Amino acid sequence: MNAAKPRCLDIHAHHVGQPLVERINADGEKHGVKIVKGEDGATRISVGGRLTGMPLIPPLNDEAARLKWMDEAGIDVQLLAGWMDLAGYHLPTEAGQWLARAQNETLAEIAARRPDRYAAAAAVPLQDAAVAADELRYAVLKLGHRAVQIGARVEEEGLDAPQYDAFWSAAQELNVPVIIHPADLAVPPRIRRLFLHILVGNPSETTFAAAALLLGGVFDRFPKLRVLLVHGGGCVPYQFGRIDRGRITAPPFAKGSVKNPLGQYANNLYYDTVLHDDEAFRYLIERVGAGQVALGSDYPFPLRDQDPVKFINKNNNLDDSARRAVCWDTGAALLGLK
């Protein structure tokens, strides 16, 4: 490994700033969004009657603490995305658009203030794909967002459903990567116990989403799409062959519309490094290549990688080119950063 440290971009992080909290306090209630305090004294956000799974933890909006952590961890630039618990896909469309716009405008403010340290990922109201497409255009063309973050499903509907094609078309047209990230909402107690909804549920939801995109023919309809799967892609790298086998063997009533073997769409998928496991990371690199993998942290949530650059560097079977790709080049190419 060369002595020179590669630049490092964190492509998986979350931010809920005080300006957004203030906008929710001022106008949110008429859109079904409000700040509430529970019996335990913790502050949460109620979105259409659903409480965020986690409290509104201070690091979500503490910029000084964020920059301190970035400096200590060796992160040069961080992509700021919202909190998926605020997706609000169950809200009426107008309310969902208000919530997405409030997130997009407040994220744009912090990214514009420190373009040397931050970029922003948009939120969109996917309950109406045409409105989501319009919001994405506004976020990218007017506010300067470089990516969009969406949930792994829209309520109980898969992301391959034809009604979402207007959104996928806009993402392809704008050439912005789509980050798929599960949300911690409406989770039954059986899954919530032992933190299983995060430990197992999130990777599972990501796997469902990716398999739906692949088997549902989304990459046939939009071949230039670039989709980043968080948490190392869930089970996708390990079960890719099984999913492809289902393309052939699924009964007629369950067959997808995909036209080709799934390996032909491998370059449409990208992965972050939030795996917490050296062997899993090495397998991911071997399976998909460093050019499809971008460093992530999941800052500031409890399951974050506290030292993601160290996690990359200690895997010494990476050559300098692969290390640069994971730390900077892959993510920078996705976001259009130099």
């920078």: which residue's tokens?
332
| DSSP per position, 102-158 | HHHHHHHHHHHH-TTTEEEEE---TTSHHHHHHHHHIIIIIT---EEEE-SSBTTB-
| Structure tokens belonging to residue 336 | 């259009």
Task: Write out pLDDT tens, residues 148-168.
Answer: 999 999 999 999 999 999 999
**Superfamily of segment(s) 9-15+61-335:** Metal-dependent hydrolases (3.20.20.140)
Cα 73 to Cα 76: distance, rounded to the nearest angstrom: 9
């208000």: which residue's tokens?
98
Where exactly are the structural domains of the chain? Answer: 9-15+61-335
Identify the segments of the chain with pLDDT beneath 50: 1-3
pLDDT in the model for residue 3? 46
pLDDT in the model for residue 4? 63
Strand partners, 271: 229, 293
pLDDT in the model for residue 142? 98
pLDDT in the model for residue 5? 75
Task: Write out pLDDT tens, residues 251-266.
Answer: 999 999 999 999 999 9
Dmax (CA) of the chain: 57
pLDDT in the model for residue 105? 98
